[in-house]
Amino acid sequence: MTDAPTTAAFRCGYIAIVGRPNVGKSTLMNTLIGAKVSITSRKAQTTRHRITGIQTVPDAQFIYVDTPGFQTRHANALNKTLNKTVTNTLDSSDVILYLVEAGTFGPADQQVVDLLPKNVPVILVINKSDRVKDKAVLLPFAQQVAAKFDFAAVVPVSAKLRFQLDGLQNEIKRFLPENAPVFGEDDITDRSEKFLASEIVREKLFRFVGDELPYTSTVLIEKFEQEGNLRRVFAAILVERDGHKAMIIGNKGARLKEVSSQSRLDMERLFGGPVYLEIWVKVKSGWADNEAGLRAYGYE
C-alpha cells in the first residue's frame, strides 16, 4: 500500500526589491502583484517609502518590499533616512531581488552590491532586457555582473512587458520559507488608502512638472474622509520656496488643475469609487533637512 501524495507546504516571505534609482523597481512590483501601489516616474529617486505589495497564489504568498533607490546625490536628512530604510529592509528580508538595467552597470549599481548581505539569497534581475537590440550582448553582461557577488540565480526580465516574470517568481518561491500567509488572499498592500492617495498626487507632480520639480517637494494628506462609497481627500503639496509654488500652480492654475484631475482619476480606479479631491500648495522651507519634521510627514 502506497502513501497518498502530500500537498506541498505553503510558502510565504518578504522579498526586498533593491537597485540604484530608476532601474524599474516600482514597475516590477506593480506588475508582479497586478495593481499600482508604488508610484513610477522617469525622474530618478521617486520612491521614498518602504512600500509593500502582496501577491497570493494557491501555494505561496509573495510579500514584495519596494525600497527607495540608494541615494548618493543629496546629503540631507531626507536621503540619510531613505538609505537607512534600504539597509534595514535588506537585513529583514527572506529573499532579495537586485535589479540592474540591461547593458548598464556603473558606480551607483556597485554601491548597492556593496550593501547586499551574504546570509540572504539574492537574485540578480536584469530588467529592461527587451531594450537590448543585440541579444548576444546580454549573456556577457549577465556574466560580468554575476561575477561581482554570489547570486542565487540570474533572471533577465522586462517588467513593462511581463517577460520572464513567471520564471522569476518560480525562482523566488524556491527560497521562500515554509510559512502560513501573513495577509488575506485579497490584500494587495499593507498601506492605507490615505497613504496611497498621497503617493498618487506625488506621482502626478513628477509627471507634469518633470525635471523642474524640486527634489524636496512632498505631499501631505491633511484630511481623508469616507462617506459611503465617496472619498473626500484634501492634500497639501509642500515646497521650500515661493518660486517652487508658482512652478507647480502653473499659468492661471493650469498645471495644478492637471495634477489634480489625473490624481483623482487614478484614485477612483484604485479605490473603486468616486473621489472628491482638493489640492493646494504650501511653502515650508527646510522640511527635508529636519529629522523631527521628516517623522511628522511619515518618513521613518
- Please tell me whether 286 is known to bind a ligand: no
The residue assigned the cell 496611497 is: 196
- Please tell me whether 24 is known to bind a ligand: yes
Which string of DSSP letters, residue by residue, matches 60-114? EEEEEEE-PPPP-S--SHHHHHHHHHHHHHHHT-SEEEEEEETTB--HHHHHHHT
251-256, Cβ contacts within 8 angstroms, sequence gap of 24 or more: 255/208, 255/209, 256/281
- Please tell me whether 19 is known to bind a ligand: yes
- Please tell me whether 129 is known to bind a ligand: yes
Residue type, 270: L
Is residue 105 within 8 Å of 54, Cβ to Cβ?
no
- Please tell me whether 20 is known to bind a ligand: yes
Give Cβ neighbours of residue 300 (< 8 Å, ≥ 6 apart): 50, 81, 85
- Please tell me whether 298 is known to bind a ligand: no
C-alpha cell at 60: 505561496
Q: Where are the beta strands (DSSP E) in the chain?
A: 11-18, 51-57, 60-66, 95-101, 122-127, 153-156, 218-227, 230-239, 275-283
Give Cβ neighbours of residue 135 (< 8 Å, ≥ 6 apart): none
Residue type, 223: K
- Please tell me whether 88 is known to bind a ligand: no
- Please tell me whether 66 is known to bind a ligand: yes
- Please tell me whether 70 is known to bind a ligand: yes
Q: Which residues are annotated as a binding site for GTP?
A: 19-26, 66-70, 127-130
Q: Which residues are annotated as a binding site?
A: 19-26, 66-70, 127-130
